[in-house]
Structure 1
């Protein structure tokens, strides 16, 4: 539990953490802090015009940061928590830098105890981008996490397949990843 407290402390001071998820290692920062978000972009050497996803701990937190209609809720309830990032309209609570000017936000609820505990204890969304330089190999082990950070939480070797990204406004898969075939079948059946 001590590592969770350390992670929350780093997040509260606009620092960066590397944390395990149900897919790959993520780079986490306070999703409501412009300063922390800028550090994420700089650490990844990522273009500021490219959006960055966030992770929430539950459906309540998801509702605070996004607009979700009934058909979107059905998908979310079926696939989250899990290896899926849903792209939905962002509320004004989300800093515009995270949306890349699109007004949309990618959201995950990772099915991983450590990630969920950090977000729950922090009581706010954190960034959910891979802990690598932009365009680099998705980090499956701590050694593959190539970004500068204030704290790394070692979760051992992770599955290594990134989440499937689904735009729920168009009901299309933006990026194939974990469970993509199951998700595609579900989207076709609706």
Structure 2
């Protein structure tokens, strides 16, 4: 993957198009997570129900903090586990549109532990949707060769990072001490939540 490939993918995001990119879990489908039309395109390509929210990807924790509202405990969790195979659910700011999160007040934050993904997010210069690059109801993609023709034709660019591990991220709401989906590092995350339970804010 060349620098020019990453630039082309980032340019496509800024044009409101969709891009397939690798992470340390599975391949993701990215679009500008602040652009309602671009987000709608991702739902359409995936055939995903509009009542199922999408997560947002960022190049680092500091970039994510510009788009969410968090307390000290949530920040401590994010700095401990990100970058990593973790989706951190926190309160969103209005700069992330309703369509991204199906009108909910919380959003999943992803900072993948994957250099190519982080470079792509950095160059895109905007939050990027973080959802698997497959049609809803079908298996996750761990190599671009598995992409359906339908998705390959619908996206503007495929960033090929080879084969990814395929482990799902753990989805966790650290403010409420809830693990919504167990995946990578789940035991470690559970232990952190238990250790910090005494500082738990109101539910």
Deviation at 1:170, TM superposition (A): 1.3
Partners of 1:111 and 1:5 lie apart in 2 by 20
Deviation at 1:139, TM superposition (A): 1.1
2:186 equivalent in structure 1? 180
Is the contact made by 1:4 and 1:117 (CA closer than 8 Å) also made in structure 2?
yes
Q: 1:152 aligns with which of 142, 148, 158?
A: 158
Partner SS, residue 134 of structure 2: coil
1:96 equivalent in structure 2? 98
Is the contact made by 2:174 and 2:193 (CA closer than 8 Å) also made in structure 1?
no
* 2:152 pairs with 1:162: no
2:36 equivalent in structure 1? 34
What's the TM-score once normalised by structure 2's chain length?
0.90
Partner SS, residue 17 of structure 2: coil
- The total of aligned residue pairs comes to 190
Is the contact made by 1:25 and 1:145 (CA closer than 8 Å) also made in structure 2?
no
Deviation at 1:16, TM superposition (A): 0.7
Partners of 1:136 and 1:104 lie apart in 2 by 26
Q: Which consecutive residues of structure 2, in runs of 5 or more, have no partner in the other structure?
A: 197-203
Deviation at 1:24, TM superposition (A): 0.6
Partners of 1:136 and 1:3 lie apart in 2 by 27
After TM superposition, the runs of 4+ consecutive aligned structure 1 residues lying more than 4 A away are: none
What's the TM-score once normalised by structure 1's chain length?
0.96
Is the contact made by 1:165 and 1:177 (CA closer than 8 Å) also made in structure 2?
yes
Partners of 2:29 and 2:178 lie apart in 1 by 26
Deviation at 1:8, TM superposition (A): 1.1
Partner SS, residue 75 of structure 1: helix
Deviation at 1:188, TM superposition (A): 1.6
Q: Deviations over 1:145-189 (max 9, x none)?
A: 333311111111100012110012311110111111111121122
2:107 equivalent in structure 1? 105
Deviation at 1:55, TM superposition (A): 0.2
Q: Deviations over 1:1-35 (max 9, x none)?
A: 01011001111111110000111100000111111
Partners of 2:147 and 2:88 lie apart in 1 by 24
Q: Deviations over 1:112-152 (max 9, x none)?
A: 11111111111111000000111221111112233331111
